A and B are shown apart, each in its own frame.
Chain A
């Protein structure tokens, strides 16, 4: 069965530190991948998505993710985090036939000012 796993459940960084959140998926077919973010008290919102083409995807707020097919990975990166990046981050995969998103467990990022 298709699954998505996130390596870290809770990450604490200081402002200006670099961020990399791991995400791995298990699926042999065409995969469409997403990173969502939920800021405190807000809706889940899309950060970025990959469905084809350039494996390096740029999203909002300076985030990017790289799709590495050989490693079944789609890690999220940001060179320099800000306090306002404190949120929970979710990696997800889309199974095109069904329309449903399959989520990882989520990673809570706490950025200390």
Chain B
């Protein structure tokens, strides 16, 4: 089966601009997660979708971040306006079920650089 895909792989923008990241989960996976790794720090949870509903968005840094998953398939994460501290690698993951025994499969990540 095809894995989790993310687009773009890299994005370089200036402070104040808008960027939209996309994630396509594995087909049939209802659960979709966004994580972020700021350089030198640990990978941190941002939010979790079950189908098109936000199950947990406790990790979203602030209201400059907006995640959507219309139709319960792919998801987008928009940062508007971007700030320097938003730089990092944004990972998407998906799983069939949100249970502890279910593996989360990760995408390759999008490296975002805000200048």
Complex contact B43–A99 (CB within 8 A): no
Q: How many residues of A are counted as interface, with CB atoms below 8 angstroms from the partner's CB atoms?
A: 24
Query: Contacts of A105 on B, CB cut-off 8 Å?
Result: 41-42
Q: Out of B41, B104, B107, which one reaches A101, CB within 8 Å?
A: B104
Complex contact B35–A101 (CB within 8 A): yes
Complex contact B33–A103 (CB within 8 A): no
Segment from A18-26, A45-53, A77-85 that makes contact with B? A45-53
- Give the Cβ gap from A46 to chain B, nearest Cβ, in Å: 5
Q: Write the chain B residue with the least CB distance to A98.
A: B56
A contact patch SS = strand
Q: List 24 A-B contacts (CB under 8 A).
A: A30-B100, A32-B100, A43-B4, A43-B105, A43-B108, A43-B109, A46-B103, A49-B101, A51-B100, A90-B43, A92-B43, A94-B100, A98-B55, A99-B31, A99-B55, A99-B56, A99-B95, A100-B33, A101-B35, A101-B93, A102-B45, A104-B42, A106-B42, A106-B43
